[in-house]
Amino acid sequence: MELTELSPALLSLREEAKKGRDPTCADETLAYLLALCGTRSPARILEIGAGEGLTACALLSACDARYTGIELDAVRAECARHNFQRFGLEARATLHEGDAGEILPLLEGEYDLIFSDGPKVQYLRYLPDCKRLLKRGGVLVSDDVFFLGKDLSAVPKKRRMLALHLAEYREQLQNDPGFETKFYEYGEGVAVSIKR
């Protein structure tokens, strides 16, 4: 499914969300995720940082997968539940409201597609659970991995910790023999890691 084939109501919610503090993923990133759903027909999708459920609604519109999302913010979680109902997707969507660091270790089973889009400073902490929960051949898509750019010396001191964290995350993904990772310039950068 192409981005333009999504329901006009969902596209308009996306435009609104892009103006907010924790916006929904970039168009290019969503287009890539939609293409993945088309080629891979995932049976189970996990999203860390579900936000208002807009990416979830798009992906569930594009395939028959079941979806599990984790969202810390109660208002966004409520909004996500409302959106699942609005688009008739609630039967395939489960939302855990709370801290991904606490919820991820409790999840079981295997996922075909994991979209890591929660707090960037926690990506490394979430990685072992993402790996554990990912099916062999499954795909981990990590959003915003080039947030703050690639040149650490150009990052203001205040943001250096986060930039270092993301640099280490990229390095771990690239050097992990259990993953085959490629980086793309979609939005603020996307890492696509296939579990070997």
Question: Where is 186: in which H helix or E strand?
Answer: none
Q: Nearer to ligand SAM by C-beta: 117 or 129?
A: 117
138 interacts with ligand SAM by CB under 6 A: no
Instruction: Decide if residue 189 touches ligand SAM (CB under 6 A).
Output: no
Report whether 56 contacts 47 (CB < 8 A).
Answer: yes
Do 143 and 159 meet the contact criterion of CB atoms below 8 Å apart?
A: no
- Single out the residue of 65, 110, 115, 52 nearest to residue 91, CA to CA: 65
Q: Is 27 in the site for ligand SAM (CB under 6 A)?
A: no
46 close to 113: Cβ distance less than 8 angstroms: yes
57 makes contact with ligand SAM (CB under 6 A): no
- Smallest separation, CB 154 to ligand SAM (Å): 23
Min dist CB 178 to ligand SAM, Å, is: 24
**Burial class of residue 113, CB neighbours in 10 A (0-12, 13-18, 19+):** buried
Stretch that binds ligand SAM, among 2-10, 68-76, 159-167, 171-179 (CB under 6 A): 68-76
Binding ligand SAM by CB under 6 A: which of 37, 46, 55, 114? Answer: 55
